[in-house]
Amino acid sequence: MSRRGSIRLGLVLFLLSGAVLGAGPHGTPGRHATPAPPARMARTQVATEAPDSVLTDQDGRRFAFRDLRGKAVLVSFVYTSCPDVCPVMFNVVTEVQQRVQAEGRGDVVSVFVTTDPEIDSPEVLKTFAMRRSADLSATTLLTGKPDELKAVWSAFGVEVTRQARGLVEHSPLTVLIDARGVVRYRYLGGFPQADIIAADVRNVLKSRATK
């Protein structure tokens, strides 16, 4: 083989090795990255009073958290244009609610508070819920004036940063409130674990039944 042929063969082999290994940052050769597993949910047991706040639901009506006394309540913070984590949180909370209700263990409702009032009007929230076949007799989606929402975010310990229109960074928080209006558990993480949360809901409902 001529010197020129050797150079061409070496170049081909080099390019093929890059295709197999994959390009690293800035086009440098590197192996295909393996997606990192989602971070596990952080579960914390607490005993703090839920805020007695009033917001606006998906039908444009004023809604007070105190109206849910006597029920187990899952509250999660989401926004409708979220491209990844929020739909997962919505689906998991809805799954837990439906699972416990089907067992006939007691009343459990879900509440979703928006972190993006600029886009999430009552109409937008209702469309979001209906597209996911949510049971609106036991599911409430809330929005409100910025100051009203900021007070609720702060009371629950949710940090919200607006990055651009329709793009918000916020704490991926879900909480469980008991029948007396006391926050019993905090679940931090964009991939909540349905089995763990469902077990906590059952315990909260059991505690109510024995008092």
Residue 29 has pLDDT above 50, yes or no: no
Domain 42-209 has CATH 3.40.30.10: yes
Question: In percent, how much of the chain has pLDDT > 70?
Answer: 80
C-alpha dihedral over 136, 137, 138, 144, to 10 degrees?
A: 60
Given this model, what pLDDT does residue 5 score?
Answer: 47
* The dihedral sign for the CA sequence 204, 209, 210, 211: positive
Which residue ranges make up each domain of the chain? 1-34, 42-209
β-bridge pairing 108-114 and 139-143: parallel
Given this model, what pLDDT does residue 40 score?
Answer: 77
Answer whether 21's CB lies under 8 Å from 30's CB: yes
Beta bridge partners of 185: 45, 176
Token pair listed for 111: 């509440």
Given this model, what pLDDT does residue 210 score?
Answer: 56
How far, in Å, CA of 53 to CA of 66, rounded?
A: 8
Q: What is the DSSP letter of 31?
A: P
Whether the model pTM is above 0.85: no
Query: By three-state DSSP, how is residue 84 classified?
Result: coil
Question: Of 74, 115, 103, 71, nearest to 91 (Cα)?
Answer: 74
Backbone angles phi, psi at 192, to 5 degrees: -60, 150
